[in-house]
Amino acid sequence: MKVYSVLLLWCTLMHEWPLCMSEEKKSLPANSVNPCCYYPCQNLGICIRYGLDRYECDCTRTGYYGENCTIPEFWSRVYNLVRPNPNVVHYILTHFQWVWNIINNTFLRDFLMQKVLTVRSNLIPSPPTYNSKYDYLNWESYSNITYYTRILPPVPLDCPTPMGTKGKLELPDPKLIVEKFLLRRKFRPDPQGTNLMFGFFAQHFTHQFFKTHNRMGLGFTKGLGHGVDAGHIYGDNLARQLDLRLHEGGKLKYQIINGEMYPPTVADTNVNMSYPPSVPPEKQMAIGQEVFGLLPGLSMYATLWLREHNRVCDILKKEHPIWEDEQLFQTARLIIIGETIRIVIEEYVQHLSGYLLKLNFDPTLLFSSQFQYQNRIAVEFNQLYHWHPLMPDSFMIEGTEFTYSQFLFNTSILTHYGVEKLVQAFSVQPAGQIGGGRNIPSTVARVAEGVIKESRELRLQPFNEYRKKFNLKPYTSFLEFTGDKEIARELEELYGDIDALEFYPALLLEKTRPGAIFGQSMVEMGAPFSLKGLLGNPICSPVYWKPSTFGGQTGFNIVKSASLKTLVCLNSKWCPYVSFRVPPSGYQPEKSSGSHSEL
């Protein structure tokens, strides 16, 4: 027993548990640690526990074999030899402009785009696997869509430390983590030139599928569509949708203010919204997502999509004069979903990636491959997408500065300035860099604390285990991870081991790529979730992707020509500067007169 204890201690300290378990798994004492707490199975192998003291790794279709799935099969050896480093791939995709100018105008663009889509999407399990209740495959976790799915199962309940076997017996205080490593010292703009138009789009877009059902629990979601369903525009249930609809010509309800179309009031729709009592009923706008009254930037996007939906309905009514309200509404919704996906892939993801390869939304690229047109939102994707560093310290609109207290729940900002001026203001104001740490505004510090607490309640596995899952090399030290000696030292004091570092703080603290908005892991983990969710949408399938789905060629062309600029400029009196990137140096925004005292 003494010899075994020494061996166990050595294995733990030297990070050699898989090797030791291979030799000792049949002779462990009855009171031993759950062997799966050591994450012994490598290369996507599944750990199966037998009794108290034995485990086995299921290496089926991993390309590896052996006790811990560590011995590569022939083709895995070949693949590992030729597979380029992710940082090398990123460098190639973000440099050599003249080469990409040629590629983007040849068949090679579609070939590379198809590879990007399939390689990224294949990293996301389909059908879904685990959820926060079950750490093994079963029918309930597959069929019960009220749960978020999970990429990795929860940390076993009987592990000796919160993260398995590594690190300290207690994780550091979430408030301390936020204050020491995540809270902003000085606003650090994103070197890629990201602006607030992007920041508000990210919030508006993702809240159609990130809808944690807190009354049910942190592992549950209200967004039963699990993807791009435009529920943030139309509501996440039929009753809310019907209350928001005009029931005439397929359109949504609206109100006219200063000759412009805006979302209707809560009083006119009987739709529940999350406004504080200080906001009078006549100022409360009824929107598909109940929290979108929080920020004028979210209300601005809600207004644009409301106008676009009703504009599309007018076009469809002209094309199909005999269509009734229901068919007009349902077809317009499909067009709006298609427009959204195109804008996200060709502009939003394009901007985030920094790639010189011009991304192309063309579902037909996947028609010849085995691709499953379904999606489930994962807890890890929800955690990953807390990009609060994007937000500035205050908001500038036509030379007027608004603090958070003046900005939050202030619907008068939208109706006073109008969509055009807000678009212009948000397009020229820089957003913050997401990665690198210490850039979250103090206003949302409690949200960041909540994310860390949530991840612990859901027992997310350590950051390095997710690195392995996405074919990334695990970090061997805090210094390698962060690149900052002082931060590395402080992290080691608090966590004790790099293999005990938590998922969400790690994503924000990881050293950023040169001139990039965040680090390697956020890109390599976030892109597969995004692309699988976007291209897994039913409208991208061979059954749906045809003119008749969208009311004919005219509706199909609306989807195929969608862009952020057309969304804004076809639904505005005048066309402002609109982009996800701040304008080039020397640009002077247009000035307009008008008193702001009423705000």
Please pick, among 385, 417, 466, 577, the residue that the annotation labels catalytic. 385
Gyration radius of the chain over CA positions: 25
Tokens of 180: 């020491």
Q: Looking up tokens 């590879």, which residue turns up?
A: 115
Q: CA-CA distance, 199 to 207, in Å (whole number)?
A: 13
Beta bridge partners of 265: 285
Pick the closest to residue 585 from 184, 101, 98, 189 (CA basis): 189
373 noted as active-site residue = no
Non-local CB neighbours of 546 within 8 Å, separated by 6+ positions: 556
Which position among 207, 309, 386, 416 bears the catalytic label?
A: 207
Place of tokens 């504080």: 276
Distances (CA, A) of 416 to 101, 148, 421: 43, 39, 10
A 10 A CB-CB count for 456 gives 16
Question: Which residue, among 378, 222, 384, has the nearest Cα to 291 in the 3D structure?
Answer: 222
In angstroms, rounded to a whole number, what is the distance separating the alpha carbons of residues 295 and 106?
43
Residues 6+ apart with CB under 8 A from 246: 252, 253, 254
> Does the N-terminal peptide bond of residue 127 adopt cis geometry, omega within 30 degrees of 0?
yes
Q: Which of 495, 119, 196, 540 is nearest to 340 (CA)?
A: 540
Q: Residue 554 contacts by C-beta under 8 Å, 6 or more apart in sequence? A: 315, 319
Asked if 395 and 401 touch (Cβ cutoff 8 Å), the reply is yes
Hey, which residues does 581 pair with through a beta bridge? 194
CB 194 within 8 A of CB 429: no
Residue 258's φ and ψ, nearest 5 degrees, are: 50, 40
The structure tokens 């799935």 sit at 69
Sign of CA dihedral 508, 301, 250, 284: positive
Q: Round to whole Å and give the CA distance between 470 and 474.
A: 10
475 as an active site residue: the answer is no
Contact 464, 497 (CB under 8 A): no
Instruction: Tell me which residue of 368, 372, 356, 357 sits closest to 110, measured CA to CA.
Output: 357
From CA 575, how far away is CA 103, in angstroms rounded? 32
Question: Among candidates 194, 516, 529, which has minimal Cα distance to 382?
Answer: 529
Q: End-to-end CA distance of the chain, in Å?
A: 75
Helix (H, G, I), strand (E, B) or coil at 265: strand
Cα dihedral across residues 39, 42, 46, 50: positive or negative: negative
Element (H, E) at 162: none
Name the residues annotated as catalytic.
Answer: 207, 385
